[in-house]
Amino acid sequence: MDTLSHNNAYDHNSQAFSADITITERMDYYSKWCRSGDYEKDLSKGGTYNGPIIAGEAISRLYPDDKNIRILDIAAGTGYVGEELRNKGYHNVDALEPSEGMLQQAIDKNIYKTHICDILGGTSVHINDDEYDCTIVCGGMGEGHIPCSGLNEMIRVVKPGGVVCIVMREEYLFTVSEYKDRLEPLMKQLEDDEKWEISDRIIFPNHFAGKSGVLFVFRVKCDGV
């Protein structure tokens, strides 16, 4: 990728993750970004942006033989993770995504069974307890994105014994005010409370634009929180 497009990707992404805009403005920004065709240009999968590939590989390591598991792709965007999962044979995948424009592009790809236009954090999403074998979030954690309270929802909608996967930019653990000194302590607290146990915390290179990422994998222990 040349320097100009690398900078565009970085600028557009920084605006989406700006601390200075409202939720509505952020969702509109995502809708405009993807409708212009630039989202998938800026965040080229396997080029600037590798998180979705890491996410798909993590799930196929966890469930190598069971392609029927029910998976919820949280913050599904235009469907990058769904594409990876479909290519690996998973066909029972739903999408949750609050930006109408992003969700429409995911719908147009015809890779998800159900499309839920909703936002994680705050009140409960309209999904029953224990509905899924696995949830995956990739790129949905960051400034103004999924708050710490979203972890409780991830646990609530996953069956006991199921898996919660989170792929995010590593530095956000320390630079995002919502997460700094809060996100990992909460992950640990949920482990102490026997809501889940951590199976993996893996740092990997080049999640987005040369920035390293972190993959978390948790095994859900109890029925809801």
Ligand X SMILES: C[S@@+](CC[C@H](N)C(=O)[O-])C[C@H]1O[C@@H](n2cnc3c(N)ncnc32)[C@H](O)[C@@H]1O
> Rule CB under 6 A: which residues touch ligand X?
27, 30, 51-52, 74-77, 80-81, 97-99, 102, 119-121, 138-140, 145-146
Structure token pair of residue 129: 């307890």
Q: How far apart are CA 115 and CA 104, in angstroms?
A: 9
> Who contacts 28 (Cβ-Cβ below 8 Å, separation ≥6)?
99
- The whole-angstrom separation of Cα 121 and Cα 123 is 6
Minimum gap (Å) between residue 161 Cβ and ligand X: 24
Nearer to ligand X, 62 or 167 (CB): 167
**Min. distance of Cβ 212 from ligand X in angstroms?**
16
Of the two residues 169 and 195, which places its CB atom closer to ligand X in the complex? Answer: 169
Please state the closest distance from residue 152 (CB atom) to ligand X, in A.
13
User: CB-wise, 21 or 221, nearer to ligand X?
Assistant: 21
* Size (the chain), residues: 225
Q: Write down the least CB distance from residue 205 to ligand X, Å.
A: 17
Q: Are 74 and 146 in contact (CB under 8 A)?
A: yes
Q: What is the closest distance, in whole angstroms, from the C-beta atom of residue 96 to ligand X in the complex? A: 6
CB 42 within 8 A of CB 29: no
Pairing verdict, β 93-96 and 71-74:
parallel
d(CA 90, CA 70): 9
Question: Which of 104/221 has CB closer to ligand X?
Answer: 104
C-beta nearest to ligand X: residue = 77
Choose between 74 and 214: whose C-beta lies nearer to ligand X: 74
